[in-house]
Chain A
Amino acid sequence: MFAYANPKRFMEVSAPLLPWLAGATAVAFAAGLYLSVAAPPDYQQGDTVRIMFIHVPAAWVAMMAYGFLALASLIGLINRHPLADVAAKQAAPLGALFTALALITGSLWGRPMWGTYWEWDGRLTSFLLLFFLYLGYIALWNAIENETRAARAAAILALVGVVNLPIIQFSVQWWTTLHQGESILRRGGPLIAAVYLWPLFIMAAGYTLLFFTLLMVRMRTEILQRRARTLAMGGPNAG
C-alpha cells in the first residue's frame, strides 16, 4: 500500500485503473438498477421496498467513508504521507453526500412506513450527527489556509470523531430507550428475502465502486491542481 503512496506513482498507477473502475461502477449500477426495478413488491412494504436498494447502500458507504477517512488521517498523521492527506480530504465531501442521500431516502421511506418523515430513532439520529461530523471536518479543512497544517488539524479531528462515534451512537441508543414512545415498525428486519438480497448487494457494490471511482478522480484533480500551483510559483519539481 505504501508503495503507491508517492503522488507521482499514484498518478501513474491510477490513470489506467480509472476507466476500469468507472466501467465496473457503470455495470454494477446497470445490473443493480435493473434488479431493483424488476424485484416484486414486498407483501408488507409494497413498492417502498425499492427505496431500500438505494437507501441501505448509501448508508453503508457513508459509514465506510468515515472509516476510510479516519484510517487515511491516521496514516497521514503518523507517516506524514501527503497522499493520505489528499485521500482523507477528498473522501469527506463524498462521505457527506452519501450520508445526506441516506438521510433523505430514509426519510422518504419512513413517511409511508412509519407515517412520518422524521423519527428520532437511534439510527436516524446517529446519521444526522455523522453528517455534522463530516461538515465540521470539511469546514476545518477549508478554514485553515496552510495546507499541511490543515491536513494535520483535520486528521486530529477525524480521529477524535472516530473515537467518539461509538460513544455518540451508544448515547443516542440510550436516549431513544429513554424516550421510547409508540413502537415503530422495524424496517428491513432480520430476514430479507433472496429476491431483495441480490439487488441490494449489487447496488451496494455499485455504490462502493462509485465512491472509489469518484475518490480517485478527485484525488487526481487535487494532485494536478497542486502541481499547477507549484509550477506557477516557479518550483521546478512539482508533484
Chain B
Amino acid sequence: MPAEYLFAGKYAAFVLPAYGVTALGLGGAIMLSWHTYRRAGRKLAEVEKTNTLSRAPDASGAAED
C-alpha cells in the first residue's frame, strides 16, 4: 500500500478530515453505547442484589405477587 494513497494525495486536506470525523462519530457512538450498556447492567445487578437482600429475611416485599 503506497504511502501516497494513505495520505490521499493532494486532496488529503479533505479526505483525511472526512475519515477522521467519521471515525470520531462512529467510534464515539460505539464507546458511549457500550459504556451505558455496561453501566445499566451493573446498575440492574446492584438493584437485584439489594432487592433480594431486603426481601429474603421477611419475604414481605413480594407478597402481592
Q: Which of B12, B14, B33, B51 contacts A214 (CB 8 A)?
A: B33
Contacts of B48 in A (CB 8 A): 231
A58–B22 Cα distance when bound, in Å, is: 9
Question: Given that A47-B8, A101-B22 are contacting pairs, would A228 and B47 also be in contact in the complex, using a CB cutoff of 8 Å?
Answer: yes
Tell me if A218 counts as interface (CB < 8 A to partner B).
yes
Contact status B25-A109, CB under 8 Å: no
Which of B6, B30, B33, B64 is packed against the most chain A CB atoms within 10 Å? B33
Closest chain B residue, CB of each to CB of A106: B18
Query: Does B11 lie within 8 Å of A47, measured CB to CB?
Result: yes
Provide the bound-state CA to CA distance between A224 and B11, in Å.
Answer: 46
Bound-complex Cα distance A64 to B50 (A): 42
Interface size range of chain A in the complex: 35 or more
CB distance from A134 to the nearest CB of B (A): 14
Task: Check: A166 CB closer than 8 A to any chain B CB.
Answer: no
Contact of B17 among A38, A108, A236 (CB under 8 A): A108
Q: Which residues of B lie under 8 Å from residue A51 when comparing CB positions?
A: 14-15, 18
Interface range for B: 20 to 34
For B5, the chain A residues whose CB sits under 8 A away are 37-38, 41, 47
Which listed residue (B12, B14, B43, B51) contacts A225, Cβ 8 A?
B43
Q: Is the CB of A108 within 8 A of B18?
A: yes
Contact of B33 with A47 in the complex, beta carbons under 8 Å: no
Q: Determine whether A23 belongs to the interface, using a CB cutoff of 8 Å to chain B.
A: no
B64 nearest in chain A by CB position:
A236
How far is it, in angstroms, between the C-alpha of A231 and the C-alpha of B15 when the chains are bound?
49
Min CB gap A130→B, angstroms: 16
A224:B29 contact, CB within 8 angstroms = no
- B33/A218 in contact, CB under 8 A: yes
**Nearest CB of A to B39, in Å:** 8
Q: How far is the CA of A47 from the CA of B5 in the complex (A)?
A: 8
Instruction: List B contacts of A214 (CB < 8 A).
Output: 29-30, 33
Q: Show the binding face of B for A, using Cβ within 8 Å.
A: 1, 5-6, 8-12, 14-15, 17-19, 21-22, 25-26, 29-30, 33-34, 36-37, 40-41, 43-44, 47-48, 51, 61-62, 64-65
- Could you list which residues of chain A lie within 8 angstroms of chain B, going by C-beta atoms? 37-38, 41, 46-48, 50-51, 54-55, 58, 94, 97, 100-101, 104-105, 108-109, 111-112, 210, 214, 217-218, 220-222, 224-225, 227-228, 231-232, 234, 236-237
